[in-house]
Amino acid sequence: MEAADRPARLAVGVLGAGKVGSALGSALAQAGHRVVAASGVSDASQRWAAARLGVEPVRPDQVVAAAQLILLTVPDDALPDLVGGLAATGADLHGKILVHCSGAYGLSVLDPAARKGALPLALHPVMTFTGRDDDLNRITGCSFGVTAPEPLRPIAEALVIEMGGEPVWIADADRPLYHAALANASNHMVTLIAESEELLGRIGVDHPGRMLGPLLGAALDNVLRLGLSALTGPVVRGDAGTVRKHVDALILAAPEAADAYVALARLTADRALAAGLLKPEEAERLLDALGGNIWT
């Protein structure tokens, strides 16, 4: 059966046809749903609406009127005002599936619309989108953090599966911690790698990314397979002298990086000590090298 011939195909609207909205809208279209309307404020969003979704951008109220399933893919800070505005303007939301894709928010942000009869879902793709043509391919196999009222859980999970993703249930109260964990791993990793590339560039390394690539690839593979037991380096070895040299060098070259190094080294030592990878006497030496107490 062709995707478009499957039952229960929906008319899809996208409020915020940016990197995420245009990718998810395209994924739903590939599953046989019909993208019928989209809105976007920026020039890029309007281009993506036309190029990726095949629709000319219209006003948000027109998107709501035309669609049965509405993706709310705006920045997190804009989401409460958008939902509140839709409810306040008297848009007909009754029976419409309203999906936000924010990791940080749960269902409460959709309460104003739910009181008007909307069916609220939170579907957060655990993926980074860049606006490049390969964004759609990135959805295949990626996890989605799914939160929904229990009666709507089958709908939420089915939509994720149709897009090629893997639904992972996240309790509503756990959404902030869920999102913090993801941001800590992905966003801060980018910052740390960029910082390391800059430091290597300062000492004349022509292609820092080429140097770091194999090391980082191996480290990521190891930790995902082996967990904390994959940890290597001077902290887990208890090499307090080496750690002190690192801190001293960073204080001279990039004081802000030194602060981050100390904080992460402490966290690493704390985890290694708790896991039995670091001996107490080694931890004490590291305390002096890091200038503070591991334990709180």
Domain topology for 177-290: N-(1-d-carboxylethyl)-l-norvaline Dehydrogenase; domain 2 (1.10.1040)
Binned average pLDDT, 10 residues per bin, the chain of 296 residues: 60 94 94 94 83 90 96 95 94 96 96 97 94 87 97 97 97 96 94 96 97 96 95 95 95 93 94 94 91 50
Category of 276 on φ-ψ map: left (φ > 0), alpha (ψ -120 to 50) or beta: left
pLDDT of residue 46: 83
Outline where the chain has alpha helix (H). 19-30, 43-51, 60-66, 79-88, 111-114, 135-139, 153-162, 175-202, 208-226, 234-237, 240-253, 255-274, 280-290
The structure tokens 């249930």 sit at 169
Q: What's the burial of 116, exposed, middle or buried (CB within 10 Å: 0-12/13-18/19+)?
A: middle
Question: What would the pLDDT profile of 200-244 be if each residue is shown by its tens digit?
Answer: 999 999 999 999 999 999 999 999 999 999 999 999 999 999 999
Q: Tell me the whole-structure pTM to 2 decimals.
A: 0.86
pLDDT of residue 5: 52
Return the domain boundaries, the chain: 3-170, 177-290
> What CATH homologous superfamily does 3-170 map to?
NAD(P)-binding Rossmann-like Domain (3.40.50.720)
What is the three-class DSSP state of 35?
Answer: strand
Rg of the chain over all Cα atoms, to the nearest angstrom = 24
